[in-house]
Amino acid sequence: MQLKNKKIAGLLSVATCTLLGGNAQAESETWDIDSALLIYNETDRVSAIEPVINAKKDLGDDEILSMKLVLDGLTGASANGAVPSSQPQTFTRPSGKGSYTTQANETPLDDTFHDTRVSYSLNWDKPLDRNNRRNLGFSFSREYDFTSVGANALWSHDMNQKNTTLTGGLSLELDAITPVGDTPQGLTDMDDRIRVSSSEDRTLLDLLFGVTQIIDKNSLFQVNYSLSQANGYMTDPYKIISVVDSSGEPAYYLYEKRPEDRLRQSVYGKYKRQLDNKDIITTSYRFMSDDWGVRSHTLDLTYRVKMENGYFIQPHVRYYQQSAADFYHYFLTDTQAIPEFASADYRLGEMTATTIGVKVGKTLSDKHVWSVRLEMYQQSGDSSPDEAFGQLQNQDLYPDVDAVIAQFNYSFKW
């Protein structure tokens, strides 16, 4: 439309309000609200529904307060760690009340898995002077058998005409775990139901150092290093490991047991570029290594295509690969000595995972944005490892996990 017929007076009036409304100290009248609903569904296993609300307010002079509320509803079944057998297997529920039976040749899944999690976080970002900012945050999370409180502080320093930003941060988290049916004694027979306490705790300390470099008007590069130390109870009180006899059939089950320390280091690099046609490409890579023997590589790529009328479409690919923890075992045998630590939790096993998805969204007038994300996740490992023998050779010892993720987002001013 030609300018002579275009009505701009209304929008001009809004722009003028922004110009004059702000005295230097004025705070913005509105909150920026980002709402999302995430639906995660594993085939035959866990489903989760997760509404998220993120509210952000500019307090004036670039001082920003943000709050986040996440609700998480989980239902479904989760692998308990035991190997499949040619015979049906019966397991006592973690509470000690009742039992569940897994049919022959099927992966044992504990179907008592359901929980609701609520978590809140609060962040306060404030410039200290022209080149320094600090961010303080607090978080709280609660679910049926788990409570967590955390605090973090992040400092960033701009230099080199604000083309380079150095970041340093520290975060501390305290967790309390109160397992259903109390804490089992690690590596004891499930049927003996030996309990050591009603609650456990752990602390996590994270240090972060980062550099962000603006390369030119359209691109930036970021590198982060983080060091994370966890101490305390890190065992999953609901996971077990099968001890098999000479034919590969389960003789009994032990509760798993993990070390009480974990030191993790990771390096993360990200490159982001806006192309001449305004499309945005983001690539990132993370390498993680810990003293449990887990090493992982994550490659992530998104490409955002700007379309007509405010629409955008953003394909996403992610590839993840990890090696197994030193104490990961598909199973133990009844002739071997019981190791100091052992877990058959598939999340600690050797695996690769691929995520492929697409996000479509539209920017409506005045910063209202909606988007929909749809992704497919597939995780796989070695289903027939060399150490399998007897009946185990006929079983899938590392079943694939397939999941679909759908997310709806709506951002607006309030």
Partner 1 sequence: MASPCEILIETDDAELARQLCLSGQREARRIEQKFSRYRDDNIVHQINQGQGQAIDIDNETYRLLQFADRCYQLSDGLFDITSGVLGKAWRFDGSNRLPGQSQLDELLCTVGWEKVEFNPQYVRLPAGMQIDFGGIGKEYAVDKVLTDLKQHCDREIMVNFGGDCHASGPPAQQGAWMTGIENPLKPGDAAEVIRLARGALATSGDAYRFIVANGKRYGHILNPKTGWPATDSPRSVTVAAGTCTEAGILSTLAILQGKDAESFLDAQQVKYWCYR
Helix (H) or strand (E) holding 15: helix 9-21
Q: Retrieve residue 388's tokens.
A: 């399998």
Q: Is 286 helix (H, G, I), strand (E, B) or coil?
A: strand
Of 59-118, binders to partner 1 (CB under 8 A) are 61-62
Residues 76, 111: contact at Cβ < 8 Å? yes
Residues 124/128/131/134 CA torsion (nearest 10 deg): -30
Site for partner 1 contains 6 (CB under 8 A)? yes
- Please work out the total of residues on this chain that contact partner 1, with binding judged by CB under 8 A: 25
Q: How far is the CB of 214 from partner 1 (least distance, A)?
A: 9
Give me the least distance between CB of 275 and partner 1, in Å please: 16
To partner 1, the closest distance from the beta carbon of 22 in angstroms equals 6
Residue with Cβ nearer partner 1 (23 or 99): 23
Range list of β-strands (E), 256-350: 261-274, 280-290, 295-306, 311-322, 332-333
Does 22 participate in binding partner 1 (rule CB under 8 A)? yes
Of the candidates 342, 182, 179, the residue with the CA atom closest to the CA atom of residue 253: 342
Member of 43, 75, 95, 163 binding partner 1 (CB under 8 A)? 163
Residue 367 exposure: Cα atoms within 13 Å on the Cβ side: 8
* Residue 3 engages partner 1 in binding (rule: CB under 8 A): yes
Instruction: Give yes or no for residue 309 binding partner 1 (CB under 8 A).
Output: no
Say whether residue 276 binds partner 1 (CB under 8 A).
Answer: no
Q: Which of residues 189-248 bind partner 1 (CB under 8 A)?
A: 217
User: Taking the complex as a whole, how short is the minimal distance between the CB of residue 365 and partner 1, in angstroms?
Assistant: 13
Binding segment toward partner 1, per CB under 8 A, in 20-28, 73-81, 261-269, 347-355: 20-28
E strand or H helix at 183, and its extent? strand 183-184
Nearest to partner 1 of 58, 375 (CB atom): 58
What pairing do the DSSP bridges indicate for beta strands 240-244 and 332-333? parallel
For residue 361, the minimal CB distance to partner 1 (Å) is 21
Strands (E), 82-163: 89-92, 99-102, 109-110, 115-129, 132-143, 146-159
Which chain residues interact with partner 1 by CB under 8 A?
A: 3-9, 11-13, 15-16, 18-20, 22, 24, 61-62, 130, 158, 161-163, 217
